[in-house]
């Protein structure tokens, strides 16, 4: 409710000081009984609150949950992530995002879930999304662009995630073209951009982002254990999902705005600063076959360039890549 939201904001702004029921009632403009009732509601949602007679109420801690309020409070964006749809458990946030986007969801709408029972990667591969341990979210954007630009959004999202990981955890991750973020060769994040459009224009893009945040090694199923890692495993401490989400949204908006103004070229430089594997031997598996050679970099459009063994430069639009050691 809006009283609950205002109550939380007033307590959070008090910076650990006590606020009396009377003072809160005046700030919010409701009765003291309403304050008392909503304090109980905050407690039920996982907020730790201290109540002392004659002094009032004090906020001790807030839950690291992903409700709309938690995400929007303190969010430094104009449109991205301003509208949040949170679900405890869904098959895939991509499916829900497609549905609400078709129904007209506004630019920047974020669909997020505690758990996915059928999380998906590219080419319908499964994406393991354990309950409350990671960030499983899909962002809806409606850029006025031709559909062939859609893959660039995977790269933009990857830079935003890498930057957020760096800022929140201090780790220095690598981006593996096109859609993975790795640390020490292990996958922390996967990105899946899906497009709904016509021949000449995008209707909307759904940018799915999966980040392993607080898993321990044993939380991963057998087949991903060896290739995956989490922010907690790598940084040695639990990481706030809310903080991560807010930073990703902040940087995504920043790079999205830059991209719409100036195109991909200025972002390419940033992308390259995170890219692992440039100049190294590479194998790209595409639907039409395998190309091996040396990774040269990406173009101003975000297309991967590989120099094959005959010295020809190949342009790769979509592939799974491997760096053979
Ligand atoms: P991808 O096709 O590049 O990677 C999928 C592969 O990654 C799987 O085949 C598996 O080997 C491995 N894998 C599966 N789960 C994990 C995990 N938790 N951590 C590391 N590796 C894993 C990557 O596709 C794109 C993933 C996007 C996921 C987001 S989550 C929110 C949104 N909803 C949804 O269903 N997908 C997206």
**Could you report the per-residue pLDDT of 83-134, keeping only the tens digit for each?**
999 998 999 999 999 999 999 999 999 999 999 999 999 999 999 998 889 9
CA dihedral for 87, 90, 93, 99, sign (positive or negative):
negative
Expressed in angstroms and rounded, the spacing between residue 307 Cα and the centre of ligand 1 is: 28
Work out which ligand 1 atom sits closest to the CA atom of 186.
20
The fraction of the chain above a pLDDT of 70, given in percent, is: 100
Please, what CATH class does the domain formed by 281-322 belong to? mainly beta
DSSP 3-state assignment of 194?
strand
ipTM entry = 0.99
The CA distance from 3 to 140, in Å, is: 29
pLDDT at 26 over 90: yes
Q: Give the position, in ligand 1's atom list, of the atom nearest the Cα of 220.
A: 18
Out of 2-11, 116-125, 245-254, pick the least confident. 2-11
- Residue spans per domain, the chain: 2-61, 68-274, 281-322
Residue whose tokens read 């991209």:
259
Topology given in CATH for the domain delimited by 2-61: Arc Repressor Mutant, subunit A (1.10.10)
Write down the pLDDT at residue 3. 87
User: Residue whose CA is closest, atom 30 of ligand 1?
Assistant: 210
Strand segments, DSSP code E, in 155-267 are: 174-176, 180-183, 186-197, 202-212
Q: What is the pLDDT of residues 230-242, one digit of tens each?
A: 999 999 999 999 9
Q: What is the pLDDT of residues 46-70, one digit of tens each?
A: 788 999 999 999 999 877 777 788 8
CA of 136 to the centre of ligand 1 (A): 10
Q: Note the pLDDT tens digit of each residue in 302-315.
A: 999 999 999 999 99
Domain range 68-274, CATH class = alpha beta
């Amino acid at each position: 409710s809006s009283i609950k939201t205002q109550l939380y904001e007033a307590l959070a702004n008090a910076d650990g000081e006590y606020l009396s029921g009377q003072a809160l009632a005046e700030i919010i403009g409701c009765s003291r009984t309403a304050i008392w009732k909503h304090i109980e509601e905050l407690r039920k949602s996982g907020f730790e609150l201290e109540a002392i007679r004659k002094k009032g109420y004090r906020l001790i801690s807030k839950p690291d949950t992903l409700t709309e309020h938690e995400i929007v409070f303190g969010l430094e964006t104009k449109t991205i992530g301003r509208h949040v749809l949170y679900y405890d458990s869904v098959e895939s946030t991509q499916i829900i995002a497609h549905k609400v986007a078709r129904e007209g969801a506004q630019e920047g709408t974020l669909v997020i879930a505690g758990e996915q029972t059928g999380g998906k990667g590219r080419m319908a591969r499964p994406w393991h999304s354990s309950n409350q341990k990671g960030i499983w979210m899909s962002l809806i954007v409606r850029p006025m662009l031709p559909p062939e630009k859609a893959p660039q959004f995977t790269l933009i999202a990857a830079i935003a995630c890498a930057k957020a990981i760096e800022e929140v955890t201090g780790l220095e991750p690598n981006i593996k073209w096109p859609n993975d973020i790795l640390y020490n060769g292990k996958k922390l994040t996967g990105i899946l951009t899906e497009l709904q459009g016509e021949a000449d224009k995008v209707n909307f893009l759904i940018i799915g982002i999966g980040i392993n945040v607080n898993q321990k090694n044993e939380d991963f199923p057998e087949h991903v254990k060896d290739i995956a890692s989490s922010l907690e495993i790598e940084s040695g401490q639990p990481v706030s999902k809310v903080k991560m989400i807010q930073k990703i949204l902040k940087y995504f908006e920043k790079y999205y705005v830059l991209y719409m103004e100036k195109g991909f070229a200025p972002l390419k430089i940033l992308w390259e600063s995170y890219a692992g594997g440039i100049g190294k031997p590479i194998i790209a598996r595409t639907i039409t076959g395998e190309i091996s050679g040396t990774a040269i970099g990406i173009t101003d459009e975000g297309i991967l360039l590989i120099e094959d063994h005959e010295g020809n430069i190949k342009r790769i639009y979509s592939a799974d890549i491997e760096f053979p050691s």
